Each structure stands twice: as C-alpha cells, then as structure tokens.
Chains A and B, each alone.
Chain A
C-alpha cells in the first residue's frame, strides 16, 4: 500500500492530469453518444432511488418540522407554524429535555473547558498561518470553531454537578465514548492477533460474531446480563454488596449499560478493518526498526500507527455516522429512562413521533441531521483531510 502505487483518481482532475497518461483521461472523458447513454444507464437508477426515498421525504420532513400535526373532524390537519417547533426545542418547553439543564461548571469543568478552547484557538491560528490568510477557509474555520465551542460548552455545563445532560449531550457521549473504547479494544486485539500465534483464523471468526447480531437482540441480551438479581453475574454483585441494585435506576449506570452493549457489538468492526490494515503495512520499515534496536512500543508508535492512521480516520467517520443514529439499545434496555437520562436524539424523535407530535419529531430529526452533517464536515475538513487526503 505504498503511496506510489496510487492510481490516478479521476475524481481529482488536477491531480490526474499530472500523474496519468494522456490515454487515461481520454478513457474517462465522455465523448460519443454511446458513452453518454452508458454514463446515464450506470448512475441514473441509484440517483433516482435516492432522490425518491431520501430527497423527497427530506423535503416533506422539512415541511413537517415547520408545522403542527393535529387531528380534526374527519381526518388530520397539518398547520404551518414557522420555526415554533425549533423554538420549543432550543428555548421553550422542551429545552431541558433536548439540551439539558445548564449550570455553572465546577473548577475541573472550567479547566477542561479552558484547555479545550485553548487547543481550538491554537489549531485555528495554525490553520490560519498555514493557509496563507485565505478568506474563505478562514470564515469556514471560524464557523467550525464557534460551533465546536458551543457544543463543548453544552457538554461541560450540562455535566456540571447542578446540571443535567439532555438528549443531545447523551447522544454525543454515546458516540464519542463508544468510538474511543471500541477503537482502543479493536486496535489492541488486532495487534495481538497479528503476533506470531496459532489459531489466528479462529479468533478472527469468533471476534466477528457480535457484529452479526441484531441490535434488538443485543439489547435484550444485555438486559439479561446486567440484571443484578437474576443475571449471570449475580454472585459478583452480591459479593460487592450490590445485590438488589438496579443499573437502570442510576443515570450513569444505565448509560454505562447501554454503552457496554454498543461497545460489545461494534468493536468487531474496528477490529476486522484494523487487523487487515496492520497485516497490510509495509514490512521493510518494521524490520529496519527492529534491527536498529527499537522496542515494540516504539515500533508501533512510530511505524505501525502512522501507517494505519488513514484507515483510522475512515473508520471513525463511518462509525460516527452510524453511531449518531443509536436507538435500538436505549429504547429496549431502558426505554430512555430513568427519566430521560439515556435517551438519544433518535429515540427522542421516535418517542415524540409515537405521541403523534410529528412536527417536533421532524424538528428533532432535522437538528440531528444538521449536527451530524456539521460534525462530519468539520471532521473531514479539519482532521481527515490532513490524515488521509481528500474524502
């Protein structure tokens, strides 16, 4: 996977003009009538399917999020109410549910906030210098900066002793804590399995299994497992004096139980891709490092890790997009409780939908969409473009 094996990417005309042979671009260009037909035949079905089932519903959803749904005589009525649903979420009656109760952070909270902001300002400044004062990228960066600052403030303020995290913060916690732990476990397992050991294929197949189970099943399974009274770990809880303690009565206990289920399910995905990446790394560099007397940790940190960094960035992006949609686990394990402590954004939208408040439900879904899109784009433009090149 050496960089010089890269074939020219048609998607980047500037690059391909430099590296590709002239015939290559000839082949890419659509010239004849037959080519034109072929190009439509290839792409049109997908575009149409996505248009029909994503764009069309998206527009209707947007309209729903700006309206109120109610039953009237002989059917239902959808009344346009402007931004009232969003107002309700951000400032009105749903604010505590959606954003959480914000409080003044503790000293530790202030310290964390200060250091993160310092880091962000540093990154902004560096990017500013590196890009030679281009106005457009600067505006983009400043936007991202303010957005991230607001998010971090939201997290820290609602996690403060007097505060209470809303569904947005809970979702962010699920996504990032889960991805971090999944990545760490997946990477360690992949490193262990690539050592010179036997039964490698056996471990690989076994470790893949959790990914194949339906999230609904996993949720019920974990509900059985974390039961402190009848679950399999009952003797352990008993010994710890937690015999009749219920995870679900404690907000952090319930969140931990849900994260446990998510980590159990998605570590295999990280594992299997990282394993392939580690097996595909260039061996000569590693050999040279060992001959020069570096130890395992140095070899990993300076040679293996940089090589799997592009894979890492893609993995995190894929998982991030999927993890924001977490709904089955909290819905089944805790039904969002205690209170709303474990509710994710998707679950909140689902519960609101179930109570027939279609407008608010669509507004929540739309906010989630904006959140994911913005975080995704910031991630791609700030981190991933540096690590792995273009998207």
Chain B
C-alpha cells in the first residue's frame, strides 16, 4: 500500500535535510540497541582483570582478547552443564510453544465459530465443590475420597438446583476468562503448582516445565489467534460445510492455511517467552531440568558476578532466537497487527 503511494506522489518525499535528520535519529537508536550487545561481545573476550580495571572498548587495541570464558563455558568445566541446560531449553521451549499453539488455536477457532452456552450455575457449583474438596484434602481426608465426593456432590447439584439457573455465559466470557489467566502473577500460582508436581513426582523434569509453559502461554495464543480468525471470511468455511466437510476438515484444510502469518507470529512470540522464562523455571527445576536463564543467573556466584561467563551465555542464548526472528520477521508485524486492530 505504501509503495504504491510513493510511486504515485512525491508529496511524501522528505527533503534532503529532513532525510539527514531521519537517518541520524534511526542510526542513533540503532546504536542504542546494538551497543549493549557489542559490550557483551567485548566482555566475553576479556580476562577478569580487563573487566575489573576499568572500561576497555576495542579488542587488540585496549586489551588482548582471550578465549578463556568461551572455553570454560563450551569445552571446559561448565561444558556439561551448558550442554545439558542448552538441550533442556532447546526441548522445553519449542515443545511447549508448539503444544500451546495447537491447543490455543483450536480453542480460539472454537470461540469464534461455535456458540457456547455453559450455565453460570453449573460453573459456580463446580468451583464450589472444588473448594470443598481442597479444604477436605488440606484437613486430612484422602484425596481419592474427597475428589469422588466432590464429583458426586457436583452431579447432584447440577441435576437438582443447577437447572433453575437460566443465566449462561457466552463465548466472550469464556474468552475473557482464558485471557484473564495471563494477568495472574506467576508467584500467585507457583507454590500450588510446585506442590502439584511434587505429588505427581514430576518435579525437576522437563515435562513439568513444558506443562507449565503451555498453561502460561495458552491465553496469549487464544487472544492473538481469536482476533486473527475474525478476519477470515466465513463464506469459505460455509461453502466447505455445504460440500460436506467436517468441522475438523474445515479447520485443517481451510482455516489453518489461511492464518499462517498469525500462527507464525504467535509461535515466535510464545517461543521467546518460554525460551527466556526465569521465575517458573527457578521454582520448578533442580539440577536436571535447568534452563539457560538459570545458568546465567548462576554465574553470580560467591565471588561476585562473573561477567565474562555471563556474556558468553547470553550471547549463546540470543543467537538462535535472533536467527529465527530474522527469518520470520516479515510475519511478526502482520500477524500481531491483525490481532491488534481487529478487522
């Protein structure tokens, strides 16, 4: 759109002076963005003494670069840890992002194309029963019995009182409920999740991290993809339905191919979230399932932060995501935008 505009009119052409200012400002921000990363690169080649005796900017001129930090992280003492944590991150982040995308996309599509009318009364009674069950468990009742009792109570309520409540929720309410889960501060839920995984003997496993990240990132997927699906014309799906395609078929063969930009942008987004997540990983992993952000934080040891090791680790961590980001860059804006403007 913008290109055609420029061909048609020279009205928008900035003058030479304006162009200079624009370039200066843009290059200024480029420096703001790149300088910290340059500093990381420089620091990763410094010896501790070069870091501690004052700022040195240019390798070979100000100081003699050394590979000691890279050696320590990649082949030296920390190599095993690095490799294991890198592999953990490499499995946990994409797996959780893929699962969240799959589940969230289906839910987002369903919220756009099906009408749900869950009864308010049944939901409230379910939550009430759940609260009772939890109280019973914390008071010392065996969990099998209390869960069974809860289910029985729920069904009884549903069949008797539940029918009286005619008020029901709509799709918007379900969507808002799902999205509002994103507002939860992780600290609020992490202790129960910790206990839950402890009971399931999943603590310090990658599975636990994957499950948690899926739950944390699902709302974002539902949010972004729901808005994206609203832009897909419904006529195509109707035609397919008239031709006898099932809902699953329509979803797979029509909706998914049409929403690739949105899917890619959302995937990248939640991948980055899962890749970089620190707090939940800190709670849920011990030695075996540590991810890279924890390795970085662990370099702040008793001898103070080991800047040179940290720099190496941060650089190792950002290279894969930046490569992915550059490859998928054109999708990000499009995918996120449609979600934001709705229509």
> A residues near B, CB below 8 A?
1, 3, 5-13, 20, 23-24, 27-30, 34-35, 38-39, 41-43, 45-47, 49-50, 52-61, 63-64, 78, 185, 188-189, 192-197, 201, 203-217, 220-225, 229-235, 264, 272-273, 275-277, 279-280, 283, 286-287, 290-291, 310-311, 314-315, 321, 324-325, 327-328, 332, 345-346, 349-350, 353, 358, 361-362, 364-366, 368-369, 372-373, 376, 388-391
Question: Which among B39, B51, B185 has the greatest number of chain A C-beta atoms within 10 A?
Answer: B185
Contact of B1 among A9, A41, A279, A310 (CB under 8 A): A279
Complex Cα distance, B233 from A362, in Å, reads 45
- Over the window 220-246 of chain B, the binary record of Cβ atoms lying under 8 Å from chain A Cβ atoms (1 yes, 0 no) is 001000000011111001100100001
Q: Are A321 and B183 in contact (CB under 8 A)?
A: yes
Q: B60 an interface residue at 8 Å Cβ cutoff?
A: no
Nearest chain B CB to A272 CB, angstrom units: 5
Which residues of chain B in 8-58 are interfacial with respect to chain A, using CB atoms and an 8 Å cutoff?
8-9, 11-14, 18-19, 22-23, 25-26, 29-30, 32-37, 39-40, 43, 51-55, 57
Which A residues lie within 8 Å of B233 (CB)? 7
Give Cα A210–Cα B318 distance, bound, in whole angstroms: 9
Bound-state CA distance A207–B275 (Å) is 19
B71-79, B156-164, B328-336: which lies at the interface = B328-336
- Per DSSP, chain B at the interface is helix
Residues of A within 8 A of B278 (CB): 214-216, 328
Asked if A311 and B296 sit within 8 Å, CB to CB, the answer is: no
Known contacts: A209-B37, A216-B296, A376-B183. The answer to whether A61 contacts B341 by CB under 8 A is: no
Please, which residues of chain A bring their CB within 8 A of the CB of B322?
209, 212
Which one of A46, A211, A324 has the greatest number of beta carbons of chain B within 10 Å? A46
In chain A, what residue has the closest Cβ to B108? Answer: A46
With a cutoff of 8 Å between Cβ atoms, the chain B residues found around residue A28 in the complex are 113-115
State whether A225 touches B39 (Cβ < 8 A): yes
Among B18, B55, B191, B234, the residue within 8 A (CB) of A61 is B191
Find the B residue at minimum CB distance from A207. Answer: B33
Chain B residues with Cβ under 8 A from A201's Cβ? 329
A54 touches B215 (CB 8 A): yes
A49 touches B215 (CB 8 A): yes
Bound Cα distance from A369 to B188, whole angstroms? 8
Q: B106 contacts which of A34, A45, A61, A185 (Cβ < 8 Å)?
A: A45
CB-nearest residue of chain B to A232: B55
> How long is the Cα–Cα vector from A47 to B191 in the complex, in angstroms?
21
Q: How far is the CA of A211 from the CA of B13 in the complex (A)?
A: 31
Contacts of B23 in A (CB 8 A): 197
| Alpha-carbon separation in the docked complex, A189 to B22 (Å) | 9
Question: Total interface residues on B, using CB and 8 Å?
Answer: 127
Are A273 and B247 touching (Cβ within 8 A)?
no
B residues in contact with A325, CB < 8 Å: 185-186
When distances are taken between beta carbons in the complex, the residues of chain A under 8 Å from B340 are 273, 277, 310-311, 314-315
A57-B183 Cα distance, complex, nearest whole Å? 14
> Which 10 pairs, one residue from A and one from B, show the smallest C-beta to C-beta distance?
A365-B188, A57-B192, A42-B110, A53-B215, A276-B333, A214-B276, A276-B337, A46-B107, A217-B314, A60-B192
Q: Is B22 in contact with A350, judged by CB distance below 8 angstroms?
A: no
The residue on A at minimum CB distance from B37 is: A209
Tell whether B66 is near chain A: CB-to-CB under 8 Å: no
Distance of A192 Cα from B18 Cα, bound (Å): 10
Chain B residues at the A interface, C-beta cutoff of 8 Å: 1-2, 4-6, 8-9, 11-14, 18-19, 22-23, 25-26, 29-30, 32-37, 39-40, 43, 51-55, 57, 103-104, 106-107, 109-116, 127, 130-131, 134-135, 138, 170-172, 174-176, 178, 180-193, 195-196, 211-212, 214-216, 218-219, 222, 230-234, 237-238, 241, 246-248, 251, 272, 275-276, 278-279, 292-293, 296-297, 300, 305, 307, 310, 313-314, 317-318, 321-322, 325-326, 329, 332-334, 336-337, 339-343
Q: Are A212 and B187 in contact (CB under 8 A)?
A: no
Note all chain A residues with C-beta closer than 8 A to B214.
49
- Whether A58 and B188, one on each chain, are in contact in the complex, defined by CB atoms closer than 8 angstroms, is yes
CB-based contact A43/B116 at 8 Å: yes
Given A42-B247, A57-B193, A206-B33, output 20 extra A-B contacts at Cβ < 8 Å.
A6-B343, A11-B112, A35-B114, A41-B248, A43-B106, A54-B215, A56-B196, A61-B189, A61-B192, A63-B135, A206-B34, A209-B318, A209-B322, A212-B276, A220-B307, A224-B39, A224-B307, A349-B187, A366-B188, A369-B188
A-B contact pairs, 25 of them (CB 8 A): A10-B112, A11-B175, A43-B114, A50-B178, A52-B215, A54-B215, A55-B127, A58-B189, A64-B191, A197-B19, A203-B26, A207-B33, A208-B329, A210-B33, A212-B318, A213-B314, A217-B314, A225-B39, A273-B333, A283-B2, A310-B342, A314-B341, A361-B191, A365-B188, A368-B185
A332 and B297 contact, Cβ closer than 8 Å, known pairs A310-B341, A365-B187, A376-B183:
yes
User: Known contacts being A24-B234, A212-B318, is A53 close to B43, with CB within 8 Å?
Assistant: no
Given A42-B107, A194-B2, A224-B43, verify A361-B187 contact (CB < 8 Å). Answer: yes
**In-complex Cβ contact of B185 among A8, A24, A224, A349 (8 A):** A349
Partner of B5, one of A189, A287, A291, A315: A287
